Structure 1
Amino acid sequence: MMKLAIVETKLLTREPGALFSLLIPLFILVVFGSSIEPGDTVLLPMALAIAVGLVSLYLLPTTLATYRERGILRRLSTTPVRPGNLLAVQLLLQLVLAVTACGLLMAVAGTVLGAHLPSRVLSGVLVFLVGTASMFAIGLLIAALAPNGRAANGIGVLLYFPMAYLAGLIQPMQQMPDIVAAIGEYTPLGAFGQSLRDVWAGSAPSPLLMGVMAAYALVISIAAAKFFRWE
Protein backbone atom coordinates (compact mmCIF):
# COMPACT_ATOMS: atom_id res chain seq x y z
CA MET A 1 0.00 0.00 0.00
CA MET A 2 2.84 2.39 0.87
CA LYS A 3 4.69 1.64 -2.37
CA LEU A 4 1.47 2.26 -4.30
CA ALA A 5 1.03 5.60 -2.53
CA ILE A 6 4.59 6.64 -3.37
CA VAL A 7 4.17 5.71 -7.05
CA GLU A 8 0.82 7.50 -7.31
CA THR A 9 2.23 10.58 -5.60
CA LYS A 10 5.03 10.77 -8.17
CA LEU A 11 2.53 10.41 -11.01
CA LEU A 12 0.29 13.10 -9.53
CA THR A 13 3.15 15.58 -9.23
CA ARG A 14 3.84 15.12 -12.97
CA GLU A 15 0.20 15.67 -13.91
CA PRO A 16 -0.36 19.16 -15.45
CA GLY A 17 -3.89 19.19 -14.04
CA ALA A 18 -2.50 19.12 -10.52
CA LEU A 19 -0.46 22.24 -11.22
CA PHE A 20 -3.46 23.98 -12.76
CA SER A 21 -5.55 23.15 -9.68
CA LEU A 22 -2.96 24.95 -7.58
CA LEU A 23 -2.24 27.91 -9.84
CA ILE A 24 -5.64 28.91 -11.27
CA PRO A 25 -7.30 29.69 -7.91
CA LEU A 26 -4.10 31.40 -6.76
CA PHE A 27 -4.05 33.53 -9.92
CA ILE A 28 -7.67 34.57 -9.35
CA LEU A 29 -6.94 35.40 -5.72
CA VAL A 30 -3.86 37.51 -6.47
CA VAL A 31 -5.37 39.37 -9.44
CA PHE A 32 -8.58 40.32 -7.67
CA GLY A 33 -7.17 40.38 -4.15
CA SER A 34 -5.01 43.44 -4.78
CA SER A 35 -8.13 45.61 -5.13
CA ILE A 36 -10.28 44.40 -2.21
CA GLU A 37 -10.55 45.51 1.39
CA PRO A 38 -8.67 43.48 4.04
CA GLY A 39 -11.97 42.59 5.70
CA ASP A 40 -13.50 41.07 2.56
CA THR A 41 -15.34 37.81 3.28
CA VAL A 42 -16.11 36.78 -0.30
CA LEU A 43 -12.98 36.45 -2.45
CA LEU A 44 -10.99 33.94 -0.41
CA PRO A 45 -13.96 31.59 0.18
CA MET A 46 -14.66 31.85 -3.55
CA ALA A 47 -11.06 30.89 -4.39
CA LEU A 48 -11.20 27.96 -1.97
CA ALA A 49 -14.41 26.68 -3.56
CA ILE A 50 -12.86 27.02 -7.02
CA ALA A 51 -9.82 25.00 -5.94
CA VAL A 52 -11.89 22.16 -4.52
CA GLY A 53 -14.15 22.24 -7.57
CA LEU A 54 -11.23 21.88 -9.97
CA VAL A 55 -9.78 18.90 -8.12
CA SER A 56 -13.17 17.23 -7.73
CA LEU A 57 -14.67 17.72 -11.19
CA TYR A 58 -11.55 17.71 -13.35
CA LEU A 59 -8.57 15.89 -11.88
CA LEU A 60 -10.22 13.11 -9.85
CA PRO A 61 -12.64 11.73 -12.48
CA THR A 62 -10.18 12.12 -15.34
CA THR A 63 -7.51 10.16 -13.48
CA LEU A 64 -9.78 7.29 -12.47
CA ALA A 65 -11.50 7.01 -15.85
CA THR A 66 -8.11 7.02 -17.60
CA TYR A 67 -6.86 4.21 -15.35
CA ARG A 68 -9.91 2.11 -16.24
CA GLU A 69 -9.56 2.97 -19.94
CA ARG A 70 -5.94 1.80 -19.97
CA GLY A 71 -6.79 -1.45 -18.20
CA ILE A 72 -4.79 -0.58 -15.11
CA LEU A 73 -7.66 -1.38 -12.73
CA ARG A 74 -8.32 -4.70 -14.49
CA ARG A 75 -4.66 -5.73 -14.31
CA LEU A 76 -4.45 -4.80 -10.64
CA SER A 77 -7.32 -7.19 -9.89
CA THR A 78 -4.96 -10.10 -10.65
CA THR A 79 -2.25 -8.89 -8.26
CA PRO A 80 -2.07 -8.55 -4.45
CA VAL A 81 -2.59 -4.79 -5.00
CA ARG A 82 -6.36 -4.68 -5.43
CA PRO A 83 -8.11 -1.95 -7.47
CA GLY A 84 -9.84 -0.79 -4.29
CA ASN A 85 -6.45 0.09 -2.82
CA LEU A 86 -5.69 2.27 -5.84
CA LEU A 87 -9.05 4.00 -5.47
CA ALA A 88 -8.42 4.67 -1.78
CA VAL A 89 -4.92 6.03 -2.47
CA GLN A 90 -6.23 8.26 -5.26
CA LEU A 91 -8.96 9.70 -3.03
CA LEU A 92 -6.43 10.40 -0.30
CA LEU A 93 -3.97 12.04 -2.70
CA GLN A 94 -6.69 14.17 -4.28
CA LEU A 95 -7.75 15.26 -0.79
CA VAL A 96 -4.16 16.16 0.02
CA LEU A 97 -3.98 18.16 -3.21
CA ALA A 98 -7.18 20.03 -2.32
CA VAL A 99 -5.85 20.75 1.19
CA THR A 100 -2.54 21.93 -0.29
CA ALA A 101 -4.29 24.24 -2.75
CA CYS A 102 -6.48 25.73 -0.02
CA GLY A 103 -3.55 26.04 2.37
CA LEU A 104 -1.54 27.89 -0.28
CA LEU A 105 -4.45 30.25 -0.91
CA MET A 106 -4.87 31.03 2.77
CA ALA A 107 -1.14 31.51 3.29
CA VAL A 108 -0.86 33.97 0.40
CA ALA A 109 -4.08 35.74 1.35
CA GLY A 110 -3.07 36.11 4.99
CA THR A 111 0.54 37.16 4.47
CA VAL A 112 0.77 38.93 1.11
CA LEU A 113 -2.73 40.35 0.70
CA GLY A 114 -3.53 40.90 4.35
CA ALA A 115 -6.92 39.25 3.82
CA HIS A 116 -9.34 38.39 6.58
CA LEU A 117 -9.02 34.85 7.96
CA PRO A 118 -11.82 33.20 9.94
CA SER A 119 -11.77 32.89 13.73
CA ARG A 120 -14.03 29.80 13.66
CA VAL A 121 -11.30 27.34 12.72
CA LEU A 122 -13.18 24.16 13.64
CA SER A 123 -16.26 25.31 11.75
CA GLY A 124 -14.10 26.07 8.74
CA VAL A 125 -12.49 22.61 8.84
CA LEU A 126 -15.89 20.94 9.15
CA VAL A 127 -17.30 22.91 6.21
CA PHE A 128 -14.23 22.04 4.13
CA LEU A 129 -14.49 18.32 4.85
CA VAL A 130 -18.24 18.02 4.25
CA GLY A 131 -18.14 20.27 1.18
CA THR A 132 -15.17 18.42 -0.29
CA ALA A 133 -16.91 15.09 0.33
CA SER A 134 -19.96 16.27 -1.62
CA MET A 135 -17.81 17.48 -4.51
CA PHE A 136 -15.63 14.34 -4.55
CA ALA A 137 -18.81 12.26 -4.74
CA ILE A 138 -19.71 14.02 -7.98
CA GLY A 139 -16.22 13.37 -9.32
CA LEU A 140 -16.56 9.68 -8.49
CA LEU A 141 -19.92 9.50 -10.25
CA ILE A 142 -18.39 11.10 -13.35
CA ALA A 143 -15.57 8.53 -13.23
CA ALA A 144 -18.13 5.75 -12.87
CA LEU A 145 -20.20 6.80 -15.87
CA ALA A 146 -17.57 8.17 -18.29
CA PRO A 147 -16.36 5.63 -20.88
CA ASN A 148 -12.82 7.04 -20.92
CA GLY A 149 -10.57 9.77 -19.54
CA ARG A 150 -11.33 12.25 -22.30
CA ALA A 151 -15.07 11.91 -21.71
CA ALA A 152 -14.59 12.31 -17.96
CA ASN A 153 -12.61 15.48 -18.60
CA GLY A 154 -15.34 16.86 -20.85
CA ILE A 155 -18.16 15.97 -18.48
CA GLY A 156 -16.29 17.52 -15.57
CA VAL A 157 -15.75 20.78 -17.45
CA LEU A 158 -19.38 20.87 -18.62
CA LEU A 159 -20.57 20.41 -15.04
CA TYR A 160 -18.07 22.78 -13.47
CA PHE A 161 -19.06 26.01 -15.19
CA PRO A 162 -22.85 25.79 -14.57
CA MET A 163 -22.19 24.77 -10.98
CA ALA A 164 -19.68 27.60 -10.52
CA TYR A 165 -22.19 30.08 -11.95
CA LEU A 166 -25.02 28.87 -9.73
CA ALA A 167 -22.67 28.98 -6.74
CA GLY A 168 -21.91 32.66 -7.35
CA LEU A 169 -18.29 32.02 -8.28
CA ILE A 170 -18.61 33.62 -11.72
CA GLN A 171 -21.31 36.22 -11.07
CA PRO A 172 -22.29 37.51 -7.61
CA MET A 173 -25.55 36.02 -6.37
CA GLN A 174 -26.88 39.52 -5.72
CA GLN A 175 -26.89 40.10 -9.48
CA MET A 176 -28.77 36.89 -10.28
CA PRO A 177 -32.55 36.48 -10.52
CA ASP A 178 -33.90 35.50 -7.09
CA ILE A 179 -35.05 32.07 -8.23
CA VAL A 180 -31.64 31.27 -9.77
CA ALA A 181 -29.81 32.42 -6.64
CA ALA A 182 -32.12 30.33 -4.46
CA ILE A 183 -31.53 27.22 -6.58
CA GLY A 184 -27.78 27.84 -6.67
CA GLU A 185 -27.49 27.98 -2.90
CA TYR A 186 -28.67 24.37 -2.64
CA THR A 187 -26.32 22.92 -5.23
CA PRO A 188 -23.24 21.14 -3.81
CA LEU A 189 -20.82 23.89 -4.81
CA GLY A 190 -23.31 26.62 -3.89
CA ALA A 191 -23.89 25.24 -0.40
CA PHE A 192 -20.14 24.83 0.00
CA GLY A 193 -19.37 28.39 -1.08
CA GLN A 194 -22.12 29.91 1.06
CA SER A 195 -21.03 27.93 4.11
CA LEU A 196 -17.47 29.15 3.63
CA ARG A 197 -18.70 32.74 3.37
CA ASP A 198 -20.68 32.29 6.59
CA VAL A 199 -17.58 31.09 8.41
CA TRP A 200 -15.52 33.98 7.03
CA ALA A 201 -18.20 36.42 8.18
CA GLY A 202 -17.88 35.07 11.74
CA SER A 203 -21.16 33.14 11.71
CA ALA A 204 -21.80 29.46 12.25
CA PRO A 205 -22.46 27.55 9.02
CA SER A 206 -26.11 26.88 8.29
CA PRO A 207 -27.15 23.43 9.58
CA LEU A 208 -29.49 23.16 6.59
CA LEU A 209 -26.70 23.72 4.09
CA MET A 210 -24.41 21.35 5.99
CA GLY A 211 -27.15 18.74 5.80
CA VAL A 212 -27.59 19.41 2.09
CA MET A 213 -23.88 18.81 1.45
CA ALA A 214 -23.86 15.66 3.60
CA ALA A 215 -26.90 14.34 1.72
CA TYR A 216 -25.23 14.99 -1.63
CA ALA A 217 -22.08 13.21 -0.44
CA LEU A 218 -24.00 10.15 0.76
CA VAL A 219 -26.51 9.75 -2.07
CA ILE A 220 -24.10 10.46 -4.93
CA SER A 221 -21.40 8.24 -3.41
CA ILE A 222 -23.87 5.35 -3.27
CA ALA A 223 -24.78 5.96 -6.92
CA ALA A 224 -21.09 6.12 -7.88
CA ALA A 225 -20.39 2.83 -6.11
CA LYS A 226 -23.33 1.19 -7.86
CA PHE A 227 -22.29 2.27 -11.36
CA PHE A 228 -18.50 2.10 -10.99
CA ARG A 229 -16.79 -0.36 -13.31
CA TRP A 230 -13.28 -1.68 -12.79
CA GLU A 231 -12.85 -2.44 -16.50
Structure 2
Amino acid sequence: MSALAKLTTVELKLLAREPGAMFTILIPLFILVVFGSSITPGDTVLLPMSLAIAVGLVGLYQLPTTLATYRERGILRRLSTTPVRPASLLTVQLALQLVLALTACGLLVAVAGTVLRAHVPSGALALTVAFLLGTAAMFAIGLLIAALAPNGRAANGIGVLLYFPMAYLAGLIQPTHLMPAVLKNVGEYTPLGAFRQALQEVWAGGFPSPVLMAVLAAYALVISLAAARFFRWE
Protein backbone atom coordinates (compact mmCIF):
# COMPACT_ATOMS: atom_id res chain seq x y z
CA MET A 1 0.00 0.00 0.00
CA SER A 2 1.35 3.43 -0.95
CA ALA A 3 2.01 6.15 1.60
CA LEU A 4 -0.91 8.19 0.25
CA ALA A 5 -3.26 5.20 0.50
CA LYS A 6 -2.15 4.57 4.10
CA LEU A 7 -2.69 8.23 4.93
CA THR A 8 -6.17 8.13 3.41
CA THR A 9 -7.05 5.00 5.41
CA VAL A 10 -5.86 6.53 8.68
CA GLU A 11 -7.65 9.83 8.06
CA LEU A 12 -10.85 8.01 7.14
CA LYS A 13 -10.77 6.08 10.42
CA LEU A 14 -10.16 9.29 12.37
CA LEU A 15 -13.01 11.04 10.59
CA ALA A 16 -15.38 8.15 11.31
CA ARG A 17 -14.58 8.46 15.03
CA GLU A 18 -14.94 12.24 15.07
CA PRO A 19 -18.11 13.38 16.90
CA GLY A 20 -18.24 16.47 14.72
CA ALA A 21 -18.67 14.32 11.63
CA MET A 22 -21.78 12.70 13.11
CA PHE A 23 -23.01 16.14 14.12
CA THR A 24 -22.84 17.40 10.54
CA ILE A 25 -24.86 14.38 9.38
CA LEU A 26 -27.47 14.18 12.13
CA ILE A 27 -28.37 17.86 12.58
CA PRO A 28 -29.62 18.42 8.98
CA LEU A 29 -31.37 15.04 9.09
CA PHE A 30 -33.07 15.99 12.35
CA ILE A 31 -34.27 19.28 10.83
CA LEU A 32 -35.58 17.49 7.75
CA VAL A 33 -37.46 14.84 9.75
CA VAL A 34 -38.91 17.29 12.29
CA PHE A 35 -40.28 19.60 9.62
CA GLY A 36 -40.88 16.80 7.12
CA SER A 37 -44.56 16.56 7.90
CA SER A 38 -45.00 19.87 6.07
CA ILE A 39 -43.43 18.55 2.87
CA THR A 40 -45.78 18.21 -0.08
CA PRO A 41 -44.84 16.14 -3.16
CA GLY A 42 -43.92 19.32 -5.03
CA ASP A 43 -42.02 21.02 -2.21
CA THR A 44 -38.89 22.82 -3.47
CA VAL A 45 -37.79 24.49 -0.23
CA LEU A 46 -37.16 22.22 2.76
CA LEU A 47 -34.87 19.63 1.18
CA PRO A 48 -32.64 22.20 -0.60
CA MET A 49 -32.40 24.08 2.71
CA SER A 50 -31.36 20.88 4.50
CA LEU A 51 -28.71 20.17 1.88
CA ALA A 52 -27.30 23.67 2.19
CA ILE A 53 -27.20 23.31 5.98
CA ALA A 54 -25.30 20.02 5.71
CA VAL A 55 -22.66 21.36 3.32
CA GLY A 56 -22.35 24.56 5.34
CA LEU A 57 -21.64 22.61 8.52
CA VAL A 58 -18.95 20.54 6.83
CA GLY A 59 -17.31 23.54 5.17
CA LEU A 60 -17.49 26.04 8.02
CA TYR A 61 -17.12 23.75 11.02
CA GLN A 62 -15.64 20.33 10.31
CA LEU A 63 -12.99 21.20 7.71
CA PRO A 64 -11.36 24.25 9.33
CA THR A 65 -11.41 22.74 12.82
CA THR A 66 -9.60 19.62 11.61
CA LEU A 67 -6.90 21.44 9.65
CA ALA A 68 -6.26 24.09 12.31
CA THR A 69 -5.99 21.36 14.96
CA TYR A 70 -3.45 19.47 12.86
CA ARG A 71 -1.32 22.59 12.51
CA GLU A 72 -1.66 23.36 16.22
CA ARG A 73 -0.43 19.86 17.15
CA GLY A 74 2.53 20.11 14.78
CA ILE A 75 1.28 17.30 12.54
CA LEU A 76 1.73 19.33 9.36
CA ARG A 77 5.24 20.35 10.37
CA ARG A 78 6.25 16.76 11.10
CA LEU A 79 4.84 15.55 7.80
CA SER A 80 7.18 17.93 5.97
CA THR A 81 10.10 15.68 6.98
CA THR A 82 8.48 12.51 5.62
CA PRO A 83 7.71 11.26 2.09
CA VAL A 84 4.06 12.19 2.78
CA ARG A 85 4.13 15.94 2.31
CA PRO A 86 1.69 18.27 4.13
CA ALA A 87 -0.01 19.02 0.81
CA SER A 88 -0.93 15.34 0.59
CA LEU A 89 -2.75 15.57 3.92
CA LEU A 90 -4.57 18.68 2.73
CA THR A 91 -5.67 16.88 -0.44
CA VAL A 92 -6.83 13.83 1.49
CA GLN A 93 -8.75 15.99 3.97
CA LEU A 94 -10.53 17.88 1.20
CA ALA A 95 -11.48 14.60 -0.48
CA LEU A 96 -12.75 13.06 2.77
CA GLN A 97 -14.70 16.17 3.74
CA LEU A 98 -16.31 16.07 0.28
CA VAL A 99 -17.23 12.44 0.91
CA LEU A 100 -18.71 13.48 4.26
CA ALA A 101 -20.80 16.19 2.59
CA LEU A 102 -21.94 13.75 -0.09
CA THR A 103 -22.84 11.18 2.55
CA ALA A 104 -24.89 13.70 4.54
CA CYS A 105 -26.67 14.96 1.42
CA GLY A 106 -27.23 11.47 0.04
CA LEU A 107 -28.86 10.43 3.31
CA LEU A 108 -31.08 13.51 3.26
CA VAL A 109 -32.24 12.85 -0.29
CA ALA A 110 -32.82 9.15 0.43
CA VAL A 111 -34.92 9.85 3.53
CA ALA A 112 -36.84 12.66 1.85
CA GLY A 113 -37.54 10.62 -1.28
CA THR A 114 -38.54 7.37 0.41
CA VAL A 115 -39.86 8.12 3.90
CA LEU A 116 -41.24 11.62 3.35
CA ARG A 117 -42.21 11.13 -0.31
CA ALA A 118 -40.65 14.47 -1.20
CA HIS A 119 -39.85 15.57 -4.73
CA VAL A 120 -36.36 14.64 -5.94
CA PRO A 121 -35.19 16.33 -9.17
CA SER A 122 -34.23 14.24 -12.16
CA GLY A 123 -31.76 16.74 -13.62
CA ALA A 124 -28.47 15.15 -12.61
CA LEU A 125 -26.29 17.68 -14.43
CA ALA A 126 -28.00 20.71 -12.88
CA LEU A 127 -27.83 19.17 -9.41
CA THR A 128 -24.16 18.23 -9.83
CA VAL A 129 -23.14 21.71 -10.99
CA ALA A 130 -25.05 23.45 -8.20
CA PHE A 131 -23.72 21.06 -5.55
CA LEU A 132 -20.08 21.23 -6.64
CA LEU A 133 -19.96 25.02 -6.97
CA GLY A 134 -21.78 25.51 -3.68
CA THR A 135 -19.53 23.03 -1.91
CA ALA A 136 -16.44 24.65 -3.41
CA ALA A 137 -17.52 28.03 -2.05
CA MET A 138 -18.19 26.60 1.43
CA PHE A 139 -14.90 24.70 1.48
CA ALA A 140 -13.01 27.79 0.36
CA ILE A 141 -14.34 29.69 3.37
CA GLY A 142 -13.37 26.77 5.59
CA LEU A 143 -9.84 26.80 4.21
CA LEU A 144 -9.55 30.53 4.87
CA ILE A 145 -10.71 30.01 8.45
CA ALA A 146 -8.11 27.26 8.85
CA ALA A 147 -5.47 29.55 7.38
CA LEU A 148 -6.16 32.40 9.78
CA ALA A 149 -7.16 30.62 12.99
CA PRO A 150 -4.30 30.14 15.50
CA ASN A 151 -5.65 26.79 16.74
CA GLY A 152 -8.48 24.31 16.40
CA ARG A 153 -10.64 25.87 19.10
CA ALA A 154 -10.42 29.27 17.43
CA ALA A 155 -11.26 27.74 14.06
CA ASN A 156 -14.30 26.09 15.62
CA GLY A 157 -15.45 29.36 17.16
CA ILE A 158 -14.90 31.39 13.98
CA GLY A 159 -16.79 28.80 11.96
CA VAL A 160 -19.77 28.90 14.32
CA LEU A 161 -19.75 32.72 14.43
CA LEU A 162 -19.78 32.85 10.62
CA TYR A 163 -22.28 30.05 10.13
CA PHE A 164 -25.27 31.49 11.96
CA PRO A 165 -25.28 34.97 10.35
CA MET A 166 -24.73 33.37 6.95
CA ALA A 167 -27.50 30.84 7.59
CA TYR A 168 -29.88 33.62 8.60
CA LEU A 169 -29.10 35.75 5.55
CA ALA A 170 -29.43 32.67 3.35
CA GLY A 171 -32.96 32.03 4.60
CA LEU A 172 -32.05 28.81 6.41
CA ILE A 173 -33.23 30.03 9.80
CA GLN A 174 -36.09 32.32 8.80
CA PRO A 175 -37.96 32.22 5.47
CA THR A 176 -36.71 34.96 3.16
CA HIS A 177 -40.20 36.39 2.61
CA LEU A 178 -40.34 37.26 6.32
CA MET A 179 -37.01 39.07 6.27
CA PRO A 180 -36.51 42.83 5.74
CA ALA A 181 -36.05 43.58 2.05
CA VAL A 182 -32.48 44.82 2.45
CA LEU A 183 -31.39 41.67 4.30
CA LYS A 184 -33.15 39.47 1.78
CA ASN A 185 -31.35 41.20 -1.10
CA VAL A 186 -27.98 40.95 0.62
CA GLY A 187 -28.56 37.30 1.54
CA GLU A 188 -29.22 36.30 -2.05
CA TYR A 189 -25.58 36.99 -2.90
CA THR A 190 -23.90 35.45 0.12
CA PRO A 191 -22.19 32.09 -0.51
CA LEU A 192 -24.77 30.11 1.45
CA GLY A 193 -27.66 32.16 0.09
CA ALA A 194 -26.61 31.67 -3.52
CA PHE A 195 -26.11 27.96 -2.86
CA ARG A 196 -29.57 27.59 -1.34
CA GLN A 197 -31.17 29.44 -4.24
CA ALA A 198 -29.30 27.35 -6.81
CA LEU A 199 -30.54 24.15 -5.19
CA GLN A 200 -34.10 25.45 -5.07
CA GLU A 201 -33.99 26.27 -8.77
CA VAL A 202 -32.84 22.71 -9.45
CA TRP A 203 -35.68 21.34 -7.31
CA ALA A 204 -38.11 23.54 -9.23
CA GLY A 205 -37.07 21.72 -12.39
CA GLY A 206 -34.73 24.26 -13.90
CA PHE A 207 -31.03 24.92 -14.19
CA PRO A 208 -29.40 27.35 -11.73
CA SER A 209 -29.20 30.85 -13.15
CA PRO A 210 -25.84 31.95 -14.60
CA VAL A 211 -25.72 34.77 -12.05
CA LEU A 212 -25.88 32.33 -9.14
CA MET A 213 -23.29 30.08 -10.74
CA ALA A 214 -20.98 33.05 -11.32
CA VAL A 215 -21.42 34.22 -7.72
CA LEU A 216 -20.54 30.79 -6.31
CA ALA A 217 -17.59 30.36 -8.69
CA ALA A 218 -16.25 33.79 -7.78
CA TYR A 219 -16.48 33.07 -4.06
CA ALA A 220 -14.75 29.71 -4.52
CA LEU A 221 -11.91 31.19 -6.59
CA VAL A 222 -11.23 34.41 -4.70
CA ILE A 223 -11.49 32.94 -1.20
CA SER A 224 -9.38 29.91 -2.18
CA LEU A 225 -6.64 32.23 -3.42
CA ALA A 226 -6.80 34.16 -0.15
CA ALA A 227 -6.61 30.90 1.84
CA ALA A 228 -3.57 29.78 -0.16
CA ARG A 229 -1.93 33.15 0.44
CA PHE A 230 -2.35 33.06 4.22
CA PHE A 231 -2.17 29.32 4.93
CA ARG A 232 0.63 28.27 7.29
CA TRP A 233 1.91 24.72 7.65
CA GLU A 234 3.19 25.38 11.17
Answer whether TM exceeds 0.5 for this pair: yes
Give the CA deviation at 1:138.
0.0
Equivalent-residue separation in structure 2 for 1:25 and 1:121 (angstroms) = 22
Opposite residue 73 of structure 2, the aligned amino acid is R
Opposite residue 200 of structure 2, the aligned amino acid is R
Aligned to 1:87: 90
Cα deviation digits, residues 111-163 of structure 1 (max 9, x gap):
00000011222101110000000010000000000000000000000000000
Q: 2:55 aligns with which of 52, 55, 58?
A: 52
How many residue pairs match? The answer is 231
Aligned to 1:4: 7
Aligned to 2:43: 40
Q: 2:81 aligns with which of 53, 78, 81?
A: 78
Maintained 8 Å contact 2:134/2:191 = yes
Maintained 8 Å contact 2:67/2:146 = yes
Q: Aligned-residue CA RMSD in angstroms?
A: 0.5
Equivalent-residue separation in structure 2 for 1:57 and 1:222 (angstroms) = 17
Partner-residue secondary structure (3-state), 1:34: helix
Partner-residue secondary structure (3-state), 2:43: coil
Opposite residue 131 of structure 2, the aligned amino acid is F
Aligned to 2:195: 192
Opposite residue 22 of structure 1, the aligned amino acid is I
The percent identity for this pair of structures is: 78
Partner-residue secondary structure (3-state), 2:38: coil
Q: 2:221 aligns with which of 218, 221, 226?
A: 218
Give the alignment of 1:58-207 within 5 angstroms.
Answer: 58-207=61-210
Unaligned runs of 5+ in 2: none
Opposite residue 46 of structure 1, the aligned amino acid is M
Equivalent-residue separation in structure 1 for 2:170 and 2:191 (angstroms) = 8
Opposite residue 205 of structure 1, the aligned amino acid is P
Opposite residue 6 of structure 2, the aligned amino acid is K
Equivalent-residue separation in structure 2 for 1:224 and 1:48 (angstroms) = 25
Equivalent-residue separation in structure 2 for 1:186 and 1:228 (angstroms) = 26
Maintained 8 Å contact 2:121/2:203 = yes
Opposite residue 185 of structure 1, the aligned amino acid is E
Equivalent-residue separation in structure 1 for 2:227 and 2:94 (angstroms) = 14
Give the CA deviation at 1:177.
1.1
Question: Runs (4+) of structure 1 moved beyond 6 Å?
Answer: none
Maintained 8 Å contact 2:144/2:231 = yes
Cα deviation digits, residues 45-103 of structure 1 (max 9, x gap):
00000000000000000000000000000000001110000000000000000000000
Equivalent-residue separation in structure 2 for 1:127 and 1:199 (angstroms) = 8
Equivalent-residue separation in structure 2 for 1:168 and 1:98 (angstroms) = 20
Q: 1:30 aligns with which of 26, 29, 33?
A: 33
Unaligned runs of 5+ in 1: none
Give the CA deviation at 1:37.
1.4
Give the CA deviation at 1:36.
2.3
Partner-residue secondary structure (3-state), 2:84: coil
| TM-score, L = length of structure 1 | 0.99
Equivalent-residue separation in structure 2 for 1:99 and 1:56 (angstroms) = 12
Equivalent-residue separation in structure 2 for 1:147 and 1:87 (angstroms) = 17
